Structure 1
Amino acid sequence: MITLSSDFGSPYPAAMKGVILRDSDARIVDVSHEFPRQDVPGAAFWLREVLPYFPPAVHCVVVDPGVGTDRAAIVVRVGDHAIVAPDNGVALPAARAIADDGDVIEVFEIETDEPASATFHGRDVFAPMAAAVHEIGVDSLHEVADLVRADGYEELAFPEPTVSQTGASGAVLVVDGFGNAITNVPGEAIEDRFGQQVRINGEPAPVRRTYATVDPGQRLVTVGSHGNVELAVNRGRGDEAFRVGAGDRVELSY
């Protein structure tokens, strides 16, 4: 299969699907086309959380605020997976999450003629390459025309939290569609405090395992499926209740 991920919304992904179906017999699966617009770290977070659950596939990722510039386009191979993406760091966290022990991450640069459009490389560069990789096979990337081994590539590192005996200092990585503010603070920071209260940026909030253990509209601090501390509201928006957004600092104290 070929998976598609972007911040395009609609209808741009349809053109990418048309190219892939024209050039391959791949089954196409949409991951999301609603990633935060031009938010490379946000997309990288979600890809890291989602792509490891797929069977072997070619993943075409286009969150590309540098489209039309001299940023490179790459194919990242890890195990039986390949990620076709702009060289802005968006692919590497997912590649590392996919990797099993012993897997080597290989990065190839796409060398193509001037694409038809300077603003839609998803259609003109990434979709055709995803189809080409699918047709020739992930194990044969060295045989794909227009691919050469990359001398280097852009890294992306998420901010590191600080955890102490009195709390933690971190940041909001992303806000999901429910309004849950997902932080970089590891869940272990509150694992022995369920049923108690902590302070978030100076204000008290209960620590609970599930949303429904507080009344509708009430705030809570929990550990999400990603394993990180999450600021939430039962049947409401945690970002609004805690007055935070992606990139904002979070001070958690006991």
Structure 2
Amino acid sequence: MITLASDFPSPYPAAMRGVICSRSDARIEDVAHDFPRQDVRAAAFWLREVLPYFPPATHCVVVDPGVGTDRSAVVVEAGDHEIIAPDNGVAIPVARELASEGDAGAESGDGPGTDDFDVWEIDYDDAATASNTFHGRDVFAPAAADVHDEGGPAALDRCHRTGDWVDLRFPEPDVVAKGARGEVLVVDGFGNVITNIPGDSVGDSDGVRVDDELIPFRDAYAARDPGDRLVTVGSHGNVELAVNRGRGDEAFGLSVGDSLLLEW
């Protein structure tokens, strides 16, 4: 299986599918093509949340604001998965999630959440003819097909292992006994404000103070009347600020990257 994920709309993904179909008989599945445009961190967050639910696969990810520059293209091997992506960090958080189990104390890492994965740089075999604006079609899609069919990057002459790759880590919150200072990581399509604050830090509190206003803490959006604000824990395990059947980002006046103080 080859999956496709990008931040660009139709018809561009169709061109990538066409390239893959011309080189491979692999089944192709679309993850998403509506990631926030050129937002590498948001794409990295959603990939970490989604790709672990797939069976072993080759994943082709194109969120590439540096397209046409000297940034590298990479294959990241993590567990039973390969992720083909620009070397901008977009594949690294999910690689840590997918990292294969290792022996406790081993230098290579101890499984999920570690750096127990390998990164390979891709030498563009058609660099002279590759578009400077669409490496998804001309670089990443061909590489995904070949990595899938050959069983991994080690079988391809144009791939070589590298230790020089761009890392990406999400900011850590400052959590204390009765509150936390954190950051808005992403805002989803419903307007839910997803923070970097772990949901289990809130405990059994009935309310969370946001900017000196006490907001009910509930376990479901529908636990509040339509239009009412709430704080909850999303399926990703982080604290969310939301509105039942409304947009939390507008109601709370928050955007990606904003800092916030929550008290409980």
Q: What TM bracket, shorter-length normalisation?
A: over 0.9
CA contact (8 A) 2:80 2:100 kept: no
For 1:96, the aligned partner's letter is: R
Contact conserved, 2:44 with 2:90, CA < 8 A, in 1? yes
Name the SS for the 1:67 alignment partner: coil
Distance in 2 of aligned mates of 1:188 and 1:160: 15
CA distance in 1, matches of 2:63, 2:81: 19
Match of 1:127 among 141, 162, 183: 141
Q: Deviations over 1:55-78 (max 9, x none)?
A: 000000000000011110000011
Rounded Cα–Cα distance in structure 2 between residues aligned with 1:111 and 1:143 = 13
The within-5 A match list for 1:68-217 is 68-102=68-102, 104-112=116-124, 113-138=127-152, 141-193=153-205, 196-217=206-227
Cα distance, 1:115 vs structure 2: 4.3
TM-score with structure 2 length normalisation?
0.92
SS of the residue corresponding to residue 42 of structure 1 reads helix
How far the C-alpha of 1:49 sits from its partner, in A, is: 0.3
The 3-state SS of whatever aligns with 2:30 is strand
Aligned length: 250
Q: State TM-score, norm by structure 1.
A: 0.96
Distance in 1 of aligned mates of 2:167 and 2:149: 28
2:106 is matched with none
In structure 2, the residue matched to 1:38 is 38
Q: Supply the distance in 2 between the matched residues of 1:133 and 1:115 (Cα, whole angstroms).
A: 20
Among residues 227, 231, 240, which one is paired with 1:221 in the alignment?
231
Contact 1:115 1:125 in 2 (8 A): no
**Deviation sequence 1:179-216 (CA, Å, 0-9, x none):** 111000000121211xx222112222100001111110
- Secondary structure in structure 2 of the residue aligned to 1:69: coil
Once residues 69 and 76 of structure 1 are traced to their aligned partners in structure 2, the CA distance between those partners, rounded to angstroms, is 20
**What is the identity percentage for the equivalent residue pairs of Structure 1 and Structure 2?**
64
Q: Deviations over 1:34-88 (max 9, x none)?
A: 0000000000000000001100000000000000111100000112110000000
Amino acid of the structure 1 residue aligned with 2:176: S
Gaps of 5+ in 2: 103-110
2:25 equivalent in structure 1 = 25
RMSD in angstroms over aligned alpha carbons? 1.0
- The change in CA–CA distance for 1:116 and 1:218 in structure 2 (over 3 A counts) is same
Instruction: Give the secondary-structure state (helix, strand or coil) at the position aligned to 2:184.
Output: strand
Q: Distance in 1 between matches of 2:25 and 2:80?
A: 18
Q: Check 1:77–1:54 CA distance in 2 against 1; reply closer, same or farther (3 A cut).
A: same
Contact kept, 8 Å, 2:59 with 2:144, in 1: the verdict is: yes
Give the 3-state SS of the residue equivalent to 1:209 in structure 2: coil
- The alpha-carbon deviation at position 99 of structure 1 amounts to 1.8
Q: Secondary structure at the match of 1:135?
A: helix
Q: Distance in 1 between matches of 2:158 and 2:50?
A: 28
Report the Cα distance in structure 1 between the residues aligned to 2:51 and 2:33, rounded to whole angstroms.
14
Contact 2:100/2:117, CA 8 A, preserved across alignment: no
Structure 1 segments unaligned to the other structure (5+ residues): none
Residue 194 of structure 2 aligns to a residue whose secondary structure is strand
Q: Secondary structure at the match of 2:68?
A: coil
Q: Stretches of 4+ moved more than 4 A in 1? A: none
AA aligned to 1:173 is L
Q: Is the 8 Å Cα contact of residues 115 and 121 (structure 1) preserved in structure 2?
A: no
